[in-house]
Amino acid sequence: MARAERWDVFCRVVDNYGDVGFSWRLARQLAVEHGKAVRLWLDDLTVLGKLRPEIDPAYDLQRLEGVEVARLSEPFTVDDVADVVVETFGCDPPEAYVLAMAERRVKPRWINLEYLSAESWVEGSHALPSPNPRLPLVKHFFFPGFTPRTGGLLRERGLLERRDAFRADAGAQAAFWRGLTGRTPPEGALKVSLFAYAGAPFEGLRRSVASYPGPVWLVAPEGAAATALDRPEPAHAIRRNRADGGSRREVEVLRVPFLPQDRYDLLLWACDVNFVRGEDSFVRAQWAARPFAWHIYPQDEGAHWVKLAAFLERYTADLDRARAGAVTSLWEAWNRRDGDEGRDRPALAESWAAFVSRRDALEAHAEAWCGRLAARRDLCDQLVDFCDNVLK
């Protein structure tokens, strides 16, 4: 039997969970779905330990779901150089490893897997070579993306079938809610998951969702949202509501533990609206095919507004003006920060009301969008094809 092709995936944590969340998914797919011998090199094992509690950050080497998870530390001792080397987000493998790559007779194929963006320049940069200025090595850029001329998005085999089976199974959903909260949502409740960066207008959202004509569950895994909403609604807001005739409903904030990564998908599938952030949860919300709002990772000089607009342009292209406007204004209101001078400040309450009143149409849209993306090959498939058939 031919020996499995060896892949080394390197990941250095910049911050939060997304770098590891993405790298782990990729490594697992390479091993489980493509039969590669994969080592995932991580400089911070505690992050993977949050996403996968089976991981013990104390070990330098461990195995999970067919992936060898190895600690990336300096000085780095090279034991073996892989056939394919993936650096995620331009993180650079250790210098000693790169020198060893250059010494191999058959040079490893070297990929820089970049950040996700809906901007159109991505199509022109995807798959471009970048020769090393010092060494006889060529690195290729690989860009995730939303169009056929990009590397696509990670989507595990059978993901959407598992989602549909969960949605068709009321017992499984009830068991999920009981396991997470000890209860099941009240009849007719609007269930909203909440994952966003510190500084999002959490309190404003809590007030806004109260206009919903039924019970609301705001479900916040441990983190910025859960911390910000860890107090009762301010008294002045309640007084104002009473003065307005008291039409607003009780909103329940459910602070829940940070979920293992695969269970987080269940939360997105079980909710009616998902607030997500960064890169990986943003993609998972699209596979969940429910209306969602994206809290984008803030960048210097407002560069993230360009990225946000590029995605919104694609995502809302097929919507009529009112629906496209409802999505855009909610996302802009949600992402606005103090200091974003010169931007019109869309009011969160009105934006939310416009969004939620169009929920059925936005849900049909989310399904159509998901179906269109799912008709394309997933990122891991494309990456393997590129490395095995184009670069070979």
Would residue 300 show up in a list of annotated catalytic residues for this protein? no
Q: Any contact of residue 261 with ligand TRH (CB under 6 A)? A: yes
Q: Any contact of residue 265 with ligand TRH (CB under 6 A)? A: no
Instruction: Catalytic residue, from 83, 279, 378, 381: name it.
Output: 279
Which amino acid is residue 312, in one-letter code?
L
Instruction: Catalytic residue, from 19, 83, 114, 381: name it.
Output: 19
Would residue 19 show up in a list of annotated catalytic residues for this protein? yes
Q: Any contact of residue 14 with ligand TRH (CB under 6 A)? A: yes
Applying CB under 6 A, which of residues 141, 166, 297, 305 lies at the interface with ligand TRH? 297
CA distance 82 to 108: 7
Q: Any contact of residue 305 with ligand TRH (CB under 6 A)? A: no
Stretch of 246-254, 279-287, 322-330, 361-369 contacting ligand TRH, by CB under 6 A: 279-287
Q: Any contact of residue 145 with ligand TRH (CB under 6 A)? A: no
- Identify which of residues 185 and 221 has a Cβ nearer to ligand TRH in the complex: 221
Applying CB under 6 A, which of residues 12, 28, 36, 277 lies at the interface with ligand TRH? 277
Stretch of 9-17, 169-177, 366-374, 380-388 contacting ligand TRH, by CB under 6 A: 9-17
Half-sphere exposure of residue 257: CA atoms within 13 angstroms, side-chain side: 10
How many CB atoms are closer than 10 A to CB 35? Answer: 12
Binders of ligand TRH in range 330-389 (CB under 6 A): none
Q: Any contact of residue 8 with ligand TRH (CB under 6 A)? A: no
CA distance 287 to 281: 10
Applying CB under 6 A, which of residues 117, 150, 173, 281 lies at the interface with ligand TRH? 281
- Identify which of residues 258 and 305 has a Cβ nearer to ligand TRH in the complex: 258
Q: Which residues are catalytic?
A: 19, 279
Catalog residues that contact ligand TRH under the rule CB under 6 A. Answer: 14-19, 21, 51, 195, 221, 258-259, 261, 264, 277-282, 297
